[in-house]
Structure 1
């Protein structure tokens, strides 16, 4: 797509698709020496994509969608290795707002056999006003699709902002971690964690098919661990208690483990749970077909 707005924020136009946008440089108003070059390049790019010869992908492994953030990378990398050994291909979505929306879009399209939603951090940004919100409908697609899924609380210890100077003034007294010059993380409070726990419970309360929720009692991220900058036993306890107090659905299985979300043993249990849910659904489908 050639457009006058392609040099700015194109998220509204691209969304969760793979649209490629090229700046028109000059306005789209007739032809001139410069615009002809731009349109020729765009046409050549399209022609190249049409005429490219690719080896057809014959990978028939079932797909699992997984969510990851920098502070939950060890968990998801390990999960992907385990799922690969069991014959599944894992599509990992970086939980940056667009990542969560894209995964939910593909869930609606029926692409996945199961979902390993370990990193729900985008919900914290949506609640508090961070820059990586996936919107108010995060977690809803999998519930509606009745797809086997394992959910956890990954990176709900943080809200994301850009450079430190861009953080809204009302948060000036909060606990911050400068991840890099362009990324500032803010620790979620007890009150915010109560709201997040309640919100996740309200989402899974609508489940009409089995769902497993995993609670990592020793921290929800790499920096929410003993000796780390966002270690917050009180905040985490508020999150988990609010979730359990609000939960009211027999379809939801809750597993509490005295581990950090990145501990390999935690990931092993999460993978085992997801595979068990997938098998149970497959067995149920076979029984219904033969009945």
Structure 2
């Protein structure tokens, strides 16, 4: 398990607090979505995990022990500021980073060939990176993070600016690694994507973790809302019922977090044609807005 405990970081000379006790853990095979507004502390946290920055206090441990240089070499890291050599060819680049991570020439070549095929880069393997689209450059950057078969994956905004096809390709590769037992952490502003992919989520605001847990637990903590949609309803059918009633043409929509479900259903059926009757839970976007408010 990768565990981040009470990380604190203040940047001099202005003394800005970047992290104020950030804590979370990611288990093997778990996909963890790290979300927050720009400047919330996500990138700073990732850089501390990778050893690029030094925390003022707190600890990062892997399998119960502090991370060493050797263990950090076993992490696949995709920084927000992409670190590719623009003049280098695709296959050459991926293989080169494999060698930097300690692979011998032949294993580095085999891993490069497999990733080029897996990520749909076969026709571009001989092209310079600068000739690639943003989506294909992202695929190369992911291949660089994966080439040494890492024990942990940490990716900072890996889906930024990608079209839906590229998003699906990268998401599929990450899910494949997670199913193989690798802890995966990624940050993203695309909350619908985080909700779809992640087992658990951490929401950070102004350097503090304001919510964390599984998506299901976070949604359940916000409570339930009953949504009833009635078409051609008789006037006044919802009088006295709790909640908010809105009218849209010939449809009336009642949203309520309290009240007797059966009584509400009975009155709705008598009033008109019930098109929808069910519990609604907040989306991750709604939870995020509430948490950072």
State the TM bucket, normalised to the shorter chain: under 0.3
More strand by share: 2
Higher helix share: 1
TM-score by length of 1: 0.28
- Give the structure with higher Rg (CA): 2
Larger relative contact order (C-alpha < 8 A, sep ≥ 6)? 2
